[in-house]
Amino acid sequence: MQLEYEAVVIGSGFGGAINACRLSKKWPEKVLVLERGKRYPMGSFPRTPHDMSNNFWNVVRDQQDSPKNSGSKEMFGLFDIRSFEHMDAVVGAGVGGGSLIYANVFLEPPDTIFDERWPDSCKKSDLKPYYTTAKSVLGARPIPDQNAPRREVVRTQLFKEFAKNEDRESELVDINVFFGNDFSNPTDIGVQQKNRYGAVQTSCVYCAECDVGCNTHSKNTTDLNYLFVAENNYKAQIKTMSLVEKIVPLNGAGEEDPAANGEYGFKVIWFDLDNDKQEKSVTTQTVVVSAGTLGTNELLLRCRDVFKTLPNINQNLGQCFSGNGDFLSFVIDGDKPADPNYGPVITQKIDYNLYSNFKSDHAYILEDASFPNFAAWYTEGLKPGVLHLGGLFRTLKALISRFFRGAKTGRIGYAFRELLKNDAAYTTSVLLCMGIDNSAGKMKLDKHGFLNIEWPYKDNQKLYDAIMEMGKRFKNWAKAKAFIPMPNILWPLKSNVTVHALGGCKLADSPETGVTSAHKDSFGQVFGYQGLYVADGALLPTAVGANPVATISALSERVAEGITGIKPDINGEL
């Protein structure tokens, strides 16, 4: 029986891109990547209000709950925002997956994270060479010397001062941002050149737009490294606007057979979103599911429980969900400059009992964060009208004073400065925390057969309380007008937001304790099936506290090694 592909990879984020690259190197022209979103060439990420309003993911599917007359407009944008029980989530859709909207940080968690819930083969020491490999490919490094022209990031220094006030240390973090190919001699801001893999990038322009899609391709997204090499060097095929619906094992005769175990391959069925959701399919020997934690769990749960095509997946599927302790808050209008509209979105971290003096129930890190310039204008517009009168009165006063001095011609730029100065955004700090939640959420299908998450927020309240107390101290230290956590954390919603959904397909030594194999030769393979793998955040047994991209990438490199038998080069050669 002739199968069409050696491997089909579902999703193109970190896990999918890594496996697309590694597998296509072993099987050139025989690897297919299915991505539900679209491509984003340089300069194509939306910025205007009209375009941003359509920059969300909303594919209408039968039987999903939505208010009457809403949710009917189909959108295939970058941001997929989902609401569950006490947990909301933001994920990305597009070629590059979550790498298109992540905050760039490459941070290995401390050894203490890898406790008894992590299999012996997945301890920090075992993963170290895979961390090193991914770090090299993704070009992780701290921000360049801030004494150089235009490279000072004000909030980096602000957070350093706050850390000192807290008797803690602020440390620069490695970020996957392009400052040129020579780490010791950064390329001038805004200058374009090819990266080591041949993709054209721009030396970071410090626009603070990392989280809404980098229009200058200064951010090291997977379409500019792993996927670029897979597609251009090893001729992997990438099909966009392809929403995978079903995975079906085949029997020896090449027929769909839910009783089969994958020995003879699989059929992957998807909807072509460019062609009125026309159903398409291919056959393959190997399937790597890398649809992100939410997408991967939902697909496998639906295959097991709705379509009955993968009945052998065990009941651990969907367990041990974690939001990685994510917590976003704002300190509004302090007396110290923060300038959150300049520089890469995150530059430093402050440790609170995660890396040192570990305390599992309130271990977290505090990172600075930025938001785009256009958001600063928006926040100014949200001010009550009366607050804008001060600027108007200052401007009129300056112009009237000038008139009475007899000056009727000349420069009046200073008057417009009076109108625009003292914007609240410039002295507002964004506090981004992540930490160790209890990783005890449950993903399951709702009555309509789509994903829901039950999150035990009460059991994680000690972590959230510790973070909020720190935020209040920051507010007092900065002499700010307000400390505002994301409002959904407050009563009556009591819901948190994560951009780092993890778990559900837990790595384990046996099917009694997890969903995927932690054994070297079958790493990431779903128990009960041959050739069916998971490679994304769903593999993680627990929260890692640190930004999880590094760990997801390390585990995915290891999945690819188990499939291909080829050890990755630690110097980043692809």
Distance CA 369, CA 349 (A): 10
Asked if residue 396 has pLDDT above 80, the reply is no
Asked if residue 424 has pLDDT above 80, the reply is no
At residue 383 the predicted structure's pLDDT band, cuts being 50, 70 and 90, is low
Q: Can you read off the two tokens belonging to residue 480?
A: 């700010």
At residue 375 the predicted structure's pLDDT band, cuts being 50, 70 and 90, is confident
pLDDT digits (tens, 9 = 90+) for 8-58: 999 999 999 999 999 999 999 999 999 999 999 999 999 998 999 999 999
Do residues 523 and 558 touch, judged by C-beta distance below 8 A?
A: yes
Residue 518: which residues within 8 A CB-CB, separation 6 or more? Answer: 119, 120, 121, 122, 507, 508, 509
- Sign of the four-CA dihedral 77, 79, 80, 81: negative
Asked if residue 430 has pLDDT above 60, the reply is yes
At residue 362 the predicted structure's pLDDT band, cuts being 50, 70 and 90, is very high
**pLDDT higher at 415 or 406:** 406
Distance CA 305, CA 96 (A): 29
Distance CA 574, CA 572 (A): 6
**Cα angle at 327 between 506 and 122, to 5 degrees?**
25
pLDDT digits (tens, 9 = 90+) for 317-345: 999 999 999 999 999 989 999 999 999 99
pTM equals 0.93
DSSP state of 572: -
